[in-house]
Amino acid sequence: MNDTFNNRLTAAIEAKGSRVCVGLDPRYARLPEELRRSVEERVGEAHIIARAEVYRLFCRGIVEAVAPYAAAVKPQFAFFEQAGPAALAALVDVIAYARKRGLLVIGDAKRGDIGSTAEAYAGAFFSPEAPWPVDALTVNPYLGRDSVEPFLETAAANYRGVYLLARTSNPGAVDVQDLELKTGGPVWRGVAGLIAGWSGSYPGVVGAVFGATYPAELREGLDILAGVPLLLPGYGAQGATADDISFALTGANLVSSSRGIIFAFERSGGDWREAAAEAAQKMRDELNAVSAD
């Protein structure tokens, strides 16, 4: 564990022969009916407890299924937070289980605040006593340096990583990230430059989130963020393909897919774990077939 996050990330990609990162986004109504029914019958009236247990069992099943084909998993904290404290406790179990299965865990929380609040958030994920001890965390840098440094400092001290949002994959990204800076160029380009600078100050810690749904900007982002590991969301359900991002499949860059893998059973009609495994394997093979490395 006493090695930088970037070194461990590189080793994981090489060991698995995979750049796949599987998003764990457990939307209750879309989870397998037989799993929900069996837990609800066992738990009874305690619906909050039942939901948490379904999330735990589902995410454990997905982790087990994709472990041979993925380098990392990325639990989305919002779904667990929405389901209440029991689900957040279940997430503790999911994180531990994923790490035991040899997967890196990237907490998708997109935290971002200033001063002591940022320090508290960082401690929740990176400190030796962290309740959710992820290997890396997504962080929103749009509040500036004093909102970022507490995460970077705590991550560096504990050999963890921080993925800072540079250019996100959602359609609304253009509303803010394409605004023109007074110094010229769009906001996202200025933020990418800041991320590159922070990477130099905190070696082995900093990564960047860059949407695979914007391949033209991604080409430019690769130059600005040279040597910074990228997390590329938007593959699959959001529309990006392996061919779209083949030029970015290099170094320690990861490609993330959530719905396309964890809900693959909706298309296949078969066992949800087998469907997830097949989808993760297919994604791995598609990416490897066009990899720039």
Q: Could you report the per-residue pLDDT of 257-280, keeping only the tens digit for each?
A: 999 999 999 998 889 999 999 999
Q: Catalytic residue numbers?
A: 110
| Inter-residue contact 285 to 267 (CB < 8 Å) | no
Nearest C-alpha neighbor of 15 from the set 88, 122, 76, 102: 102
Enter the pTM of the model: 0.95
What pLDDT, in 10s, does the model give residues 200-212? Answer: 999 999 999 999 9
Is 51 exposed, middle or buried (CB count within 10 Å of its CB: 0-12, 13-18, 19+)?
A: buried
pLDDT of residue 77: 97
> What span, in angstroms and rounded, lies between the C-alpha atoms of 291 and 267?
27
Can you read off the two tokens belonging to residue 44? 């009874």
Q: What is the Cα 194 distance to its own chain's centre?
A: 21
What percent of the chain stands above pLDDT 70?
A: 99
Q: How confident is the model at residue 173 (pLDDT cuts 50, 70, 90)?
A: confident
pLDDT of residue 2: 78
Can you read off the two tokens belonging to residue 96? 């531990």
Considering just the CA atoms, what is the radius of gyration of the chain in Å? 19
Beta-carbon count within 10 A of 226 CB? 10
pLDDT of residue 1: 64
Nearest C-alpha neighbor of 72 from the set 22, 3, 133, 4: 22
Determine the average pLDDT of the residues in 77-101: 97
**Quick check: 292 pLDDT over 90?**
no
Determine the average pLDDT of the residues in 26-36: 95
* One CATH from 3.20.20.70, 3.40.50.10490, 1.10.10.60, 3.40.50.300 for 5-289: 3.20.20.70
> What span, in angstroms and rounded, lies between the C-alpha atoms of 278 and 66?
8
pLDDT of residue 240: 84
pLDDT of residue 5: 97
E-only strand ranges, the chain: 20-24, 72-75, 104-111, 136-139, 161-167, 206-210, 230-232, 254-257
Question: CA dist 84 to 39, 122, 208, Å?
Answer: 17, 21, 29
8-state DSSP, 159: T
Kindly report the average pLDDT of the chain as a whole number: 94
Nearest C-alpha neighbor of 160 from the set 78, 105, 96: 105
